[in-house]
Amino acid sequence: MSRNLKIAGVAALAGMMLTVGIVSALRPETTAAPVAASPTAPADPALADIERCRTVTMPDSGCEAAWEAKRRHFFGRDNRP
């Protein structure tokens, strides 16, 4: 490889890097506002039970039933006999 070809390659690479740097510096930053959790309760009572059960540390039969219903719904087993 000739010396002139190496110099041309390095110059092209440096030019591309400089271009990327300038474009990224001039581009306006778009930062999305963080999404906060809604303090209101969900409209669906089953979802309200699931939300409550996420914080329960002791065994609770109501929570176990709510989680089982959610599993059945998720896996599509609600309509089977």
pTM to 2 decimal places: 0.40
Other CB atoms within a 10 A radius of the CB of residue 60 amount to 14
Q: What are phi and psi of 45, to 5 degrees?
A: -60, -30
Given this model, what pLDDT does residue 21 score?
92
Given this model, what pLDDT does residue 35 score?
59
Given this model, what pLDDT does residue 18 score?
96
Is the pLDDT at 69 greater than 80? The verdict is: yes
Given this model, what pLDDT does residue 17 score?
96
- Report the distance separating Cα 33 and Cα 20, nearest Å: 27
Is the pLDDT at 79 greater than 70? The verdict is: no
- Report the distance separating Cα 59 and Cα 2, nearest Å: 77
> For residue 37, what is the DSSP state?
P
- Report the distance separating Cα 71 and Cα 49, nearest Å: 14
How do residues 3-48 score in pLDDT, each as one tens digit?
A: 999 999 999 999 999 999 999 888 877 666 665 555 565 567 778 8
Q: Which residue shows structure tokens 């309200």?
A: 48
